[in-house]
Structure 1
Amino acid sequence: MKKHPRYIPAFHFHWLTRWYDPMMRYFFPESKMQSALIAQADIQPGQTLLDAGCGTGTLTLLIKQTQPQAAVYGFDVDPQILAIARKKAERAGETIMLQQGTACCLPYPDESFDHVFASLLLHHLTQQDKQHAFREAFRVLKPGGSLHVVDFGKPHVFSMWLISWLMRWFEEIHDHVLGLLPVFMADAGFHPVETTAHHRTVAGTIALYCAAKPLR
């Protein structure tokens, strides 16, 4: 089996993986954020989509159930959490192509997808790996395709600043707190790049982004 570089697992520790779904529902407005992310993509029948860092497959399944005529792929580096995603897809009776690997080196041809999603993936990556992941997302998107991201963002109120500066000791969110994610997306070639929403959570500000790959 191909070896993958060290990564930060869901909630930082492997022993918390089994509790990922209930903790996400309890501590974050998960359903609201994911529904907003899908809505801004405006997915059409026949389109092909990638959920990079799909985790337990909650967003991946929601995408497929929202637009059953779309081809949906899920991709994650963590085999333990990917096994949970496979079981969820089987229970739901949905056909989703799930694969293990790193977002920094996607195993898909150029211009394969109409949309790429990244939900709470990027704060697990180093700055260099974030930049690689954005370049890979740009590569696999078709011209006119779009990237949809939900992750930690630049705090807009003092309480969120305090929480975010504490969280930076546990996750790779320093770049997020400084508001650099849109900069990294633009550097990868995306234009325009928009911040579409902010949410206050117990872990800090969560932001939604939408970035387009320009037409030729």
Structure 2
Amino acid sequence: MSKAGTETAGKRDQHANLMDGMYRYQRHIYDLTRKYYLLGRDSTIRNLDLPDGGTLLEVGCGTGRNMALAHKHFPSAKLFGLDISQEMLISAHRTFAAKATIPEFRVADATAFTPREFGVSGFDRILISYALSMIPDWERAIDASIAALNPGGQLHIVDFGQQEGLPPRFRSMLQSWLAKFHVTPRRDLREVLEAQANERNARLVFESVGRGYAWRAAIISRRS
């Protein structure tokens, strides 16, 4: 392996260890606590507009909570999930333990995965929910996701915004609190997505949720 490859693998392992350490115990209360402040997730899932029998991958699938909701709205969809944290995927498997449909969950790096790892040529929809703000090389995660879409596929993202419409003191307190959990809202998210959409002749939908508390976006690719 080259020096650059070794450094990349080292950073990936370091991030995986960090996430496993943070979620080893938090995963047991994750869904109960996060439902109050991870705004926009449910409406994003409802609007995935998955075709019958379509494929959905969630990047950073965590406990599988979002996958379970997607299954409720799109019961015929084929579901896949990846996460760098093995600890989180333990909870994801438990989420689907009593269900007839079980997604294919894999420990994988959001910046360096391919559809072939999941036995498919591409995905109709990819969801990244409150994960980009925790992925150090988040732009590469977007690259990998777009590359994994089928023609006509869609990448849906919801994550913390810049809280641009909220009172300055509240914004400062919130961002300091998020930093304690290794969360960094991506200031350049819209510009990066606009560049990706323009490069691929795709359509970008971008909107603010809760006065900028969160941002929601979709890159909708064209059929070739």
1:196 aligns with 2:207: yes
Report how many aligned residue pairs link the two structures: 204
Would you say the 8 A contact 1:56–1:85 is kept in 2?
Answer: yes
In the alignment, what sits opposite 1:161? Answer: 171
**Alpha-carbon distance in structure 2 between the residues aligned to 1:105 and 1:161:** 33
**Letter of the aligned partner of 1:158 in structure 2?**
P
**Alpha-carbon distance in structure 2 between the residues aligned to 1:29 and 1:131:** 21
Would you say the 8 A contact 2:56–2:78 is kept in 1?
Answer: yes
Deviates more, 1:43-52 or 1:191-200: 191-200
Would you say the 8 A contact 2:20–2:86 is kept in 1?
Answer: no
In the alignment, what sits opposite 2:189? Answer: 181
Structure 1 residue aligned with 2:130, among 113, 116, 120? 120
Deviation digits for residues 50-78 of structure 1 (CA, Å, limit 9, x no counterpart): 01100000001111121111111011110
In the alignment, what sits opposite 1:75? Answer: 82
How far 1:118 sits from its partner (Å)?
0.6
Structure 1 residues 1-216: aligned runs within 5 Å = 4-7=12-15, 8-9=18-19, 12=22, 14-25=24-35, 27-28=36-37, 33-109=40-116, 112-126=122-136, 129-155=137-163, 156-159=165-168, 160-167=170-177, 169-170=179-180, 171-174=182-185, 176=186, 178=187, 180-189=188-197, 191-199=202-210, 205-216=213-224
**Alpha-carbon distance in structure 1 between the residues aligned to 2:99 and 2:37:** 23
In the alignment, what sits opposite 2:3? Answer: none
In the alignment, structure 1 segments of 5+ residues that lack a partner are none
* Larger Rg computed on CA atoms: 2
Deviation digits for residues 165-206 of structure 1 (CA, Å, limit 9, x no counterpart): 4246433425x2x3x112222333463222234137xxx812
Q: Percent of aligned pairs with the same residue? A: 20
Cα RMSD after superposing both structures:
2.7
In the alignment, structure 2 segments of 5+ residues that lack a partner are 1-8
Q: TM-score, normalised by structure 1?
A: 0.82
**Letter of the aligned partner of 1:88 in structure 2?**
T
Q: Are residues 122 and 29 of structure 1, via their aligned partners in 2, closer, same or farther at CA, if it must alter by over 3 Å?
A: closer
